[in-house]
Amino acid sequence: MDKTRDRSHLMIVIHSLQGGGAERVAVDMAGYWQARGCQVSVVTQTDASGDAYRLPDGVARYALRLAEDTGGGLRALWGNLRRILALRRLVRKHRPTVVLGMMTRSSILAVVAARGRCRVIVTEHTHPPIQTLPPLWQRLRRWAYPRADAVIALTHGTAQWLDLNVPGVQAQVIPNAVHWPLEDGDPVVPADRVPGRLRLLAVGRLHGVKGFACLVRAFASLAAFFPNWDLTILGEGGERAALEALCEELGLQGRVSLPGRVGNVGAWYQASDLYVLSSVAEGLSNTLLEAMASGLPCVAFDCETGPREIIRSGIDGILVRPVQDPDALAARLSELMVDPALRARYAGRAVDVRDRFSTARVMALWDQVFRGNRVN
């Protein structure tokens, strides 16, 4: 974006700021471009009452307050028409230079509301094959994305899927920037190390897609061989009861802990010895980037997209195949759990993500797209 033009205006459209990777990226982008002299506004369906992230001073917030679930049929059609008209009114009034849709539905709404009035850029933050997206929205994506000025994916795998499944699209790849160092938020949960104990750490929603049941089973097969190691899974979600029952069934009480969501995850990275990403699928894992930037050696399943574009397997971490095989995961974890020198070697190289995924590098790519250039 032309930083010399005082009237350059970036309008970011997203459902809410109520937590999640795309929501944090939206706030980060707003702050970055606002600090460089651009006018920035953020349009959400929800108001600020449930926000997990605070917008920087000087960034305008327009809450449409049209987030209610309208169900299906004519009510859904009417609800989305109201959203489009409300967004179109904002575009007409404020005349942004660029409208950036964050995630599928907001991207589609942005194209319908703003196409022909300014540059419209759409983004995918989840790998589409793992999305739960109604058929109508899938059809709308095939209509809308070819009409956008640019289509951005987090990974090359997602870009390839879009190119193959959305005729007329030539997607470009811009990853998320890594957060480092991490700022503390609420709640602060002490991450104190227990003398003589080593910690295997995982972070994410307690949801089936994160593969934590597989991770617990893998750890159970290692627990007797590594009696000084414990597993901690940070996060909250609907799988908590099932995971707690599984830990009890496998006799892992006292060896596996689930502290819930923490706001000081950076302290937990610093107080751990090894990080594991057991996901069935990922977009681009922010937690994996954060763990590596914090100097942790990492092991991750080589799911369809994400980890393979972060970890350089055998250099700064380990990718595990086949995905969701607890024996394969246990075997690769044990390689690092038994060898502190290998952990230290991987950790020393893992911190390269601070440069590889730096804010400066990532925002330079966005600047090129905002100017109308292709980045790859």
Q: Say if residue 204's pLDDT is above 50.
A: yes
Domains of the chain (ranges, CATH numbers)? 9-177+358-370 (3.40.50.2000), 198-356 (3.40.50.2000)
Q: Say if residue 12's pLDDT is above 60.
A: yes
CB 129 within 8 A of CB 162: no
Q: Say if residue 320's pLDDT is above 90.
A: yes
The mean pLDDT of 195-199, rounded to a whole number, is 97
What pTM does this model have? 0.91
CB 195 within 8 A of CB 207: no
DSSP bridge partners of 118: 115
Grouping H, G, I as helix, E, B as strand and the rest as coil, residue 43 is strand
Whole-number Å distance between alpha carbons of 43 and 47: 10
Q: Which two tokens stand for residue 371?
A: 């100017």
Q: Say if residue 319's pLDDT is above 70.
A: yes
The mean pLDDT of 20-25, rounded to a whole number, is 88
CB 121 within 8 A of CB 150: yes
Q: What is the mean pLDDT of the chain?
A: 94
- How confident is residue 68, by pLDDT bands cut at 50, 70 and 90? confident
Q: Mind listing the pLDDT tens digit for each residue in 133-178?
A: 999 899 999 999 999 999 999 999 999 999 999 999 999 999 999 9
Phi and psi angles of residue 362, each rounded to the nearest 5 degrees, phi first? -65, -45
Residue with tokens 């000087």: 58
- How confident is residue 3, by pLDDT bands cut at 50, 70 and 90? very low
Q: Which two tokens stand for residue 151?
A: 């289509």
Whole-number Å distance between alpha carbons of 27 and 273: 31
Q: Which two tokens stand for residue 48?
A: 């600020």
